[in-house]
A and B are shown apart, each in its own frame.
Chain A
Amino acid sequence: MSSRKGQRNAARVVREQLARERRRKRALWTSVGAVVVLVIAGMIGWSVWSSQRPHEFTAPRGANDAGTGIVIGSGPVTIDLYEDYLCPACKQFQQVSGATIDQLVSAGKARVVFHPVAYLNRFSTTEYSTRSSAASGCAAQGGKFKEFTDVLFARQPPEGSAGLSNDELIDIGAGVGLNRDDFGSCVKDGTYKPWTAKVTEDASRSGVNSTPTIKVNGKEVADRSPAGITAAVEAAGK
């Protein structure tokens, strides 16, 4: 009687051990599966990003040698402006300090390299930052970059909206004296979108994390007021 009970007990222990072993194996395989899923997800992200990166681009006329910005003027001191056409602080900066920078350029003291970066695509429903920057490339090709840029800031759409449509961008271009057909097809084809990606990537790489960022001879200027920029240019020109 007692030995049969012992056998039953032993059989139960073996069964439990086998069950535990099975559970352990299942847990191991689900863990392996989960790790594989995570690694694959990471690799998908990396490959999506690599396909989005700018590979080949053509810079528009008027760009600097690196093709990362449009040059205005020819003074000895370089003012780098990193701005997004959708960025409200950039519009404000243009309103407050734009005229001062224009004067420094026309007086032959400085040249501007304007980098139209597309940092704020998440804040419009139509990737307005990329579209407007690529359109500014078309305007540069037609020799009206500065004029086009000034109107884009004056007519800046609010964040979170659809932004200006391509047709509206084309109207603005025609309004500042660009050839409607050439400029229109350039905007609609997104001819300079790869260039925009290049400009944006280069700015990110050089540590520009926010817009507007202003550099004078490569050094970031914290005081973006007219007086601050004038002082920085004078100091750099000495």
Chain B
Amino acid sequence: MIVTAARIRATRWPTVRPWIGLAARLGLATVWLVAGAAKVGDLAASGRAVNAYQVMPYDVATVIGAALPFMELALGLILLLGLATRLAAGVSAALLVVFVTGIVSAWSRGLSIDCGCFGSGGQLAAGQAPSYLPEILRDLGFLALAGFLLIWPRTPVSVDGWLTGEPAVEDEDE
């Protein structure tokens, strides 16, 4: 019984995997597009949110705060199209690791801030408790999506697939 179950799983995996990949790609694209769109309207506020972490000088924080929303939007668009998926997943993973590190560092230094992940951000009002743990768990979830795409970047309905002219299903050589 165990053997047959494993065999079924083994035969199913190659057909299921690309669709999981597609879901991961579109999910991650949505995350970046929403995060970027929430911040792009008020770049000064985005800079303040970065500055609230108190890890870099104000002028550097404002530059990052201004550049980040546009880069998030571009990353979302690239993932939506399925262009250079492995690279986009790698950049996503790197950004998420930086975000998680930032939140952990804010937590460990006892700062009372909003992560500013989806707009707002900055110091919390008196009596408002920070929600660092849910923020970290959420980012780790996104990191899992990025990790999946990093390992299996081939997904259906992608520019990558169209360029190489190959179905996403086979291809184990990369």
- A residues with a Cβ closer than 8 A to B are 20, 23, 26-27, 30-31, 33-35, 37-38, 40-46, 48-50, 52, 89, 119, 121-122, 200-201, 204-205, 207, 209-210, 222, 224
Given A31-B87, A34-B84, A34-B87, A210 and B122 touching (CB < 8 A)? yes
Shortest CB-to-CB span from A97 to chain B, Å, is 13
Cβ 8 A contact of B48, one of A30, A43, A119: A119
Shortest CB-to-CB span from A6 to chain B, Å, is 23
Cβ 8 A contact of A122, one of B42, B86, B123: B42
Could you mark each residue 73-91 of chain B with 1 if its beta carbon is under 8 Å from any beta carbon of chain A, else 0?
1110110000110111001
Q: B8 on the interface (CB 8 Å rule)?
A: no
Q: B1 on the interface (CB 8 Å rule)?
A: no
Could you mark each residue 26-53 of chain B with 1 if its beta carbon is under 8 Å from any beta carbon of chain A, else 0?
0000000000000011111101100110
In the bound assembly, the distance between CA atoms of A121 and B86 in angstroms comes to: 37
User: In the complex, given contacts A45-B71, A48-B70, A52-B43, what are 8 additional A-B residue pairs having Cβ atoms less than 8 angstroms apart?
Assistant: A31-B86, A37-B77, A42-B70, A42-B71, A46-B67, A121-B42, A204-B62, A209-B52
Q: B163 on the interface (CB 8 Å rule)?
A: yes
Decide if B45 touches A121 in the complex (CB within 8 Å).
yes
Given A31-B84, A209-B123, A38 and B47 touching (CB < 8 A)? no
Given A121-B42, A122-B45, A209-B48, A34 and B88 touching (CB < 8 A)? yes
Interface residues of B in 128-169 (CB under 8 A from A): 159-160, 163-164
Decide if B47 touches A41 in the complex (CB within 8 Å).
no
Closest residue of chain A to B153 (Cβ to Cβ) is A27
Shortest CB-to-CB span from B153 to chain A, Å, is 9
Shortest CB-to-CB span from B70 to chain A, Å, is 4
In the bound assembly, the distance between CA atoms of A33 and B126 in angstroms comes to: 46
Decide if B73 touches A41 in the complex (CB within 8 Å).
yes
Decide if A38 touches B71 in the complex (CB within 8 Å).
yes
Cβ 8 A contact of B74, one of A30, A38, A222: A38
Q: B125 on the interface (CB 8 Å rule)?
A: yes
Main secondary structure of the interface of B (DSSP, over half): helix
Shortest CB-to-CB span from B57 to chain A, Å, is 10
Q: B18 on the interface (CB 8 Å rule)?
A: no
Decide if B48 touches A44 in the complex (CB within 8 Å).
no
Q: B103 on the interface (CB 8 Å rule)?
A: no
Decide if B45 touches A34 in the complex (CB within 8 Å).
no
Closest residue of chain A to B75 (Cβ to Cβ) is A38
Cβ 8 A contact of A48, one of B43, B54, B87: B43
A residues near B23, Cβ cutoff 8 Å: none
Q: Which 9 A-B residue pairs are closest in the complex by CB-CB distance? A: A49-B66, A45-B70, A41-B74, A209-B123, A34-B84, A42-B67, A210-B123, A45-B67, A41-B70
Q: B21 on the interface (CB 8 Å rule)?
A: no
Shortest CB-to-CB span from B157 to chain A, Å, is 16
B residues near A49, Cβ cutoff 8 Å: 43-44, 47, 62-63, 65-66
Q: Which of A30, A35, A46 has the most CB of B within 10 A?
A: A30
Decide if B70 touches A30 in the complex (CB within 8 Å).
no
Closest residue of chain B to A123 (Cβ to Cβ) is B120
Decide if A37 touches B125 in the complex (CB within 8 Å).
no
